[in-house]
C-alpha cells in the first residue's frame, strides 16, 4: 500500500510538472491516464486496506530503519558519489584540461557557489526555470550558480579597473534543476571547466584561439572523433529578421531552433507555430536556412542570398565568420568544424560567434524508422528514460560582449559604465567522464599514485620500514608500508598487486645488517628477478628514480 501511495504521489507531481511547463498535450493525457489507473487500483483494495489508507501512512514496523533512528541512504536526485577509481579518472581529466588552459596563458579565479538571485535572473532565457533558489537568509535572496560565465561577468564588473584584459580559467561545480540522465552525464550537480578571454581585441582573434584551446582539450582527452558546430548569433538574428520573426519572439524562436539536434524539423516547426505563435509562413522560411550546414563554402552561398544580403546584421555576422575561417585555417582547426545554421545556443547573453562540440555518439539513439528517439520519462516517475537520450554536447561556448555591462550600471547617456567584451568555452566534465568510463575497465584503473611499497620479511621491525619510507619520501618518491608490526609477506604482495604499485623495496634482517635492499619490478612475473635484485642502500634512491623515469 505504501508503495502504491508513493507511486500516486510521484505521478501526481509529474502531471503537475508537465502542465506547468506546457508540455505536449498527448503526453500530458497519457500521464493523466496513468495517474487515474493508479488511483483506481488503490480504490479496488480490500476495505481494511482502504481504511488503513484513509487513516494515513502506516505505522513503521519495529525493524523499520526509520524507527531505529537511521537515515534513508540514497543520493539526492541528480547527484552521485565517486569511487577512488572514478576519482582517478576525473582527476586525470582535470589535469589534462588545466595543462591546455595554462599552455595558452590561462590564470584561474574562484567565485562563490551561490550568487544574489538578481545576478542570475534573466540571463538564461527559457532555462532560467532550472535555477536553484535558496531560502532567504538574513534579507538576501540567493541562488546556486547555474554556470561559471555569469559569475565571471559579475567579477569583472566589480574588478574591471584591474582586469580589463584577462585569460581566465575556472573549474567548479554548478547546479541545475534539470531532469537527470546519470549514465549520460546529465546531472543536477556537475563540474564545468571554463576558459574565457576578456578584453578589447581585434575581431575574431580571441575567438579563434578559444576554438584552438577546445580542439586541444578534446584531442588530449582522447574521446574519439568530434565535431565543433559553429554559427553566429548575428547571422541567425538576420535570418529571423528577413523571415518575418517579430523582435520580441527572436530569442524564444532561437530556443526552438536549437532543438534541431534532438528533434525533427516537423516538431520544431510545430513548437514555433502552435506553442510560440509564429506565422507558419515565417517558420517555413526559417526552415530553408536552419537546415543548411557545411564548411567555408557555405559562406559564399549565404553572401549571395538576396534576402540575407539586405540584412546589415546578417552581413556583419558573415564578415566575422569569413575572418574566423581565415584564422582557423592558420591554427589548423578548420578540419574539426562544421558551419551549422541550426546551432542557436539558448542562453540569452550570447552576442556573436557560438559553438558546440559533439561526438559521433552524442546524439539520441536512432529508431527503426531512422528518426532520432525523443526523450521520454520512465513510466510512473518524473525521471528521464536514459535509453531515449544521448550524451549531448560535451563542450560549448561563444562570444558575450554585453554581459559585463549589464552589471556595471549606466551613465547619463544610458550607456554601460563598463564594457569588457568576452569570449569563452565551457567543457562538461560529467559528459566527458561518462564517455571515458565506458571505454575503461575499472580493474585497470590505478586509483592511487604510490610508486614504491616497502616490504618487510622475516619479522623486520616496523621502524626499519619507516626509515626506508622516510628516505623515499624525502627524495620525493611516493611510497607506503604496512601498518602492522609483523605483517604477513603475502598480504604485502597482495597490496602491490591490488594497488598496481610498480616497485617494491624488500628488506630482511640480513639486508639490514649488510646495508643492502632488494628492488623488485612488480609489473613483471618472470623468474629473472627472483626475490628482487640487490643494491647497496646508498644507491636505492638513484636506482628507483632511474626506473621511475622510464615508466
Query: What H or E segment, with its residue span, contains residue 231?
Result: strand 226-232
Asked if 389 contacts 187 with a C-beta cutoff of 8 angstroms, the reply is: no
Secondary structure of residue 529 in the 3-state scheme: coil
Question: Which residues are within 8 A (CB) of 195 and not within 5 positions of it... i.e. 6 or more apart?
Answer: 101, 104, 106, 167, 168, 169, 210, 213, 424, 425
Radius of gyration of the chain (CA): 30
Place of cell 569588457: 420
176 labeled binding residue: yes
CA distances from 249 to 14, 351, 495 (A): 29, 16, 63
d(CA 387, CA 316): 42
Query: For residues 417 and 411, is the Cβ–Cβ distance under 8 A?
Result: yes
For 470-542, where are the E strands, in sequence order?
479-481, 503-507, 516-521, 533-536
Give the whole-angstrom CA distance, residue 529 versus residue 535. 13
Q: Is 537 annotated as a binding residue?
A: no
Cβ–Cβ under 8 Å, residues 194 and 424: yes
C-alpha cell at 144: 546556486
Whether 163 has a binding-site annotation, put simply, is no
CA dihedral sign, ordered 509, 511, 517, 523: negative
Q: Distance (Å, rounded) from C-alpha 329 to C-alpha 327?
A: 5
Q: Which residues of 427-440 are buried (b: 16+ CB within 10 A; e: fewer)?
A: bbbbbbbbbbbeee
Residue 192, annotated ligand binder? yes
Annotated binding residue 349 = yes
Alpha helix (H) residue ranges in 291-446: 297-303, 312-330, 403-407, 429-439
Residue 351 assigned as binding residue: no
Q: How far apart are CA 310 and CA 120, in angstroms?
A: 36
Binding-site residues sit at 147-149, 176, 192, 196, 345, 349-350
Binding-site residues for L-histidine sit at 147-149, 176, 192, 196, 345, 349-350
Amino acid at each position: 500500500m505504501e508503495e502504491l501511495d508513493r507511486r500516486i504521489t510521484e505521478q501526481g507531481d509529474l502531471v503537475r510538472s508537465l502542465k506547468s511547463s506546457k508540455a505536449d498535450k498527448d503526453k500530458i493525457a497519457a500521464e493523466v491516464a496513468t495517474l487515474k489507473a493508479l488511483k483506481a487500483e488503490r480504490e479496488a483494495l480490500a476495505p481494511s486496506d482502504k481504511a488503513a489508507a484513509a487513516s494515513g501512512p502506516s505505522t513503521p514496523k519495529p525493524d523499520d530503519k526509520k524507527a531505529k533512528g537511521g537515515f534513508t541512504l540514497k543520493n539526492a536526485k541528480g547527484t552521485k558519489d565517486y569511487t577512488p577509481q572514478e576519482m582517478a579518472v576525473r582527476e586525470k581529466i582535470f589535469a589534462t584540461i588545466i595543462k591546455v588552459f595554462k599552455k595558452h596563458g590561462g590564470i584561474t579565479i574562484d567565485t562563490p557557489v551561490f550568487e544574489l538571485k538578481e545576478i542570475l535572473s534573466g540571463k538564461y532565457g527559457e532555462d532560467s526555470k532550472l535555477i536553484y533558489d535558496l531560502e532567504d537568509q538574513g534579507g538576501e535572496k540567493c541562488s546556486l550558480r547555474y554556470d561559471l560565465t555569469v559569475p565571471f561577468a559579475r567579477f569583472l564588473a566589480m574588478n574591471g579597473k584591474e582586469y580589463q584584459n584577462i585569460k581566465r580559467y575556472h573549474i567548479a561545480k554548478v547546479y541545475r534543476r534539470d531532469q537527470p540522465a546519470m549514465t549520460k552525464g546529465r546531472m543536477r550537480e556537475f563540474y564545468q571547466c571554463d576558459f574565457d578571454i576578456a578584453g578589447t581585441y581585434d575581431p575574431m582573434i580571441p575567438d579563434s584561439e578559444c576554438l584552438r584551446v577546445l580542439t586541444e582539450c578534446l584531442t588530449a582527452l582522447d574521446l574519439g572523433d568530434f565535431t565543433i558546430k559553429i554559427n553566429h548569433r548575428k547571422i541567425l538574428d538576420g535570418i529571423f529578421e528577413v523571415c518575418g520573426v517579430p523582435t520580441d519572439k527572436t530569442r524564444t524562436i532561437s530556443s526552438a531552433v536549437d532543438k534541431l539536434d534532438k528533434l525533427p524539423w516537423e516538431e520544431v516547426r510545430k513548437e514555433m507555430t502552435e506553442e510560440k505563435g509564429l506565422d507558419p509562413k515565417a517558420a517555413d522560411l526559417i526552415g530553408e536556412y536552419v537546415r543548411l550546414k557545411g564548411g567555408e563554402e557555405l559562406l559564399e552561398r549565404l553572401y549571395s542570398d538576396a534576402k540575407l544580403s539586405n540584412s546589415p546584421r546578417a552581413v556583419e555576422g558573415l564578415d566575422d565568420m569569413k575572418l574566423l575561417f581565415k584564422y582557423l585555417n592558420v591554427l589548423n582547426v578548420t578540419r574539426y568544424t562544421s558551419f551549422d545554421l541550426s546551432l542557436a545556443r539558448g542562453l540569452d547573453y550570447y552576442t556573436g560567434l557560438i559553438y558546440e562540440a559533439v561526438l559521433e555518439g552524442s546524439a539520441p539513439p536512432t529508431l527503426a524508422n531512422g528518426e532520432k528517439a525523443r526523450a521520454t520519462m520512465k513510466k510512473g516517475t518524473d525521471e528521464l528514460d536514459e535509453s531515449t537520450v544521448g550524451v549531448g554536447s560535451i563542450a560549448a561556448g561563444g562570444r558575450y560582449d554585453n554581459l559585463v555591462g549589464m552589471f556595471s550600471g549606466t551613465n547619463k547617456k544610458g550607456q554601460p559604465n563598463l564594457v569588457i567584451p568576452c569570449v569563452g568555452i565551457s567543457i562538461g566534465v560529467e559528459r566527458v567522464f561518462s564517455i571515458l568510463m565506458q571505454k575503461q575497465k575499472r580493474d585497470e584503473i590505478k586509483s592511487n599514485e604510490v610508486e614504491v611499497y616497502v616490504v618487510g620479511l622475516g619479522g623486520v621491525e616496523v621502524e626499519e620500514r619507516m626509515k626506508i619510507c622516510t628516505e623515499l619520501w624525502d627524495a620525493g618518491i611516493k611510497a607506503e608500508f604496512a601498518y602492522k608490526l609483523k605483517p604477513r609477506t603475502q598480504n604485502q604482495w597482495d597490496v602491490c598487486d591490488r594497488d598496481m604499485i610498480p616497485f617494491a623495496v624488500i628488506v630482511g634482517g640480513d639486508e639490514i645488517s649488510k646495508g643492502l635492499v632488494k628492488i623488485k619490478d612488480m609489473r613483471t612475473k618472470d623468474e629473472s628477478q627472483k626475490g628482487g635484485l640487490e643494491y647497496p642502500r646508498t644507491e636505492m634512491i638513484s636506482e628507483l628514480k632511474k626506473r621511475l623515469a622510464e615508466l
